[in-house]
A = this chain, B = another copy of it.
Amino acid sequence: MSDARQPRSGRRKGLPDTRTEILNAARGLFARDGFDRTTIRGVAAAAAVDPALIHHYFGTKRQLFLDAIALPVDPAQVLGPLRDVAPEALGETIVRLIIDVWDGGVKEAGVAALKAQIIDPTSSVLRPFVSEILTATLAIHVQDNAQTRIALAASQIGGLLLMRYVIELEPLTTMTAEELAIHIGPTIQRYLTHELPIS
């Protein structure tokens, strides 16, 4: 809105479009190939720009990744407390953190992101989010079979977000973060830290 009061100084050498094109290309490659196998060079080729331009705009591959998946919150801030949590409180803490963040203003952007990913999973940011950010954050707590454990936890957390915020299935919509943490925390705890029934 306040933009309207400023005289526009014309297009700045197509800069916004190029940046968007880089982000779109990056999102596609991260979703298809994952974080490790995606390179700045590959993104540059897909967006038909010079790799140096990507370094200029985004600095690092990690920053490009974070900008591409455009999370409505900074995952480091949300998930940071998990690094220091007591091992046996991990499950409840994860549920409480996620619900607090969604209830605290992320809900609308989160529902929109969830819907977009469900409608077009090929450009999903959820898979890279789970495989990069969650895995890195939880690595300290998850000793073996990390991929299986984190995918199982993601299935319960994704289902909770789906039922609470999208389908609005009672009583999941009216329960407090604390109640949900008590009910669902033990499931996350079991998936992440207990001995798996098979591996």
Contact = CB atoms under 8 A, between A and B. Distances in A.
Contacts of A151: 163, 169-172
B127 A169 contact: yes
Contact of A119 (B119, B127, B171, B191): B119
Give the dominant DSSP class at A's interface: helix
A182 B158 contact: no
Counting chain A residues whose Cβ lies within 8 A of the other chain, the interface size class is 35 or more
Interface stretch (A1-9, A15-23, A50-58, A110-118): A110-118
A121 B197 contact: no
Most buried by B among A126, A167, A197: A167
Nearest to A188: B187
B198 A179 contact: yes
A123 to B, nearest CB: 11
B163 A162 contact: no
A61 interface: no
Question: What is the oligomeric copy number?
Answer: 2
Interface string A121-163: 1001011001000000000000000011001101111111011
B147 A155 contact: no
20 contacts: A117-B167, A118-B119, A118-B166, A127-B167, A127-B169, A148-B183, A152-B172, A152-B184, A154-B159, A154-B163, A154-B169, A155-B162, A155-B164, A155-B184, A157-B159, A159-B160, A159-B162, A183-B191, A183-B196, A187-B187
Given A148-B171, A162-B162, A183-B197, 10 more contacts: A117-B167, A118-B118, A151-B171, A158-B163, A159-B160, A182-B197, A183-B191, A183-B196, A186-B190, A186-B197
A169 B121 CA distance: 10
Interface string A86-127: 000000000000000000000000000011011101001011
